[in-house]
Chains A and B, each alone.
Chain A
Amino acid sequence: MFPNYEWLLLLFPLIGVFINGLFGHKLGRRAVAWIACLAIGLAFLVSLSLLWAQLQLPEDASSTSSTLFNWMSVGDFRIDLTLLIDPLSVLMAVVVTGVSTVIHIYSAGYMAEDRRYSRYFTFLNLFVFAMLILVLGNNFLMMYVGWEAVGLCSYLLIGFWFERPSAANAGKKAFLVNRVGDFGFALGIMLIFATFGTLDFSTVFANAPALLPRGSELATALTLLLLMGAVGKSAQIPLYVWLPDAMEGPTPVSALIHAATMVTAGVYMIARNHVLFERAPGTMHVIVAIGLATAFFAATMALVQNDMKRVLAYSTISQLGYMFVAVGVGAYAAGMFHLTTHAFFKALLFLGAGSVMHALSGELDIQKMGGLREKLPTTYLTFVVGSLALAGVPLFSGFFSKDEIMWNVWLEAGPLVWVIALCTAFLTAFYTFRLVFMAFWGKPRDKKLFGHAHESSSIMTVPLVILAVFAAIAGFIGLPGGLSLIEKFLHPALVTPGVHRIAAEHGVIEWVLLLISAVVALVGIYVAYYMYVLKPEIPKKLAKQWSSVYTLLVRKYYVDEAYTEVIVKPLKDIGGFLASTIDKGLIDGIVNGIGSVTTGLAPILGGMQAGLVREYAFSILIGAVAVLGYLILR
Chain B
Amino acid sequence: MADKRVILDQASVPGFPRGVKFRFNKTKEQWVIMAPERLLEPNEVAVEVLKLCDGAASISTISNSLAEKFQAPVETILSDVTEMLQDLADKGFLIA
Do A and B originate from a single complex? no
| B residues whose Cβ falls under 8 Å from a Cβ of A | none
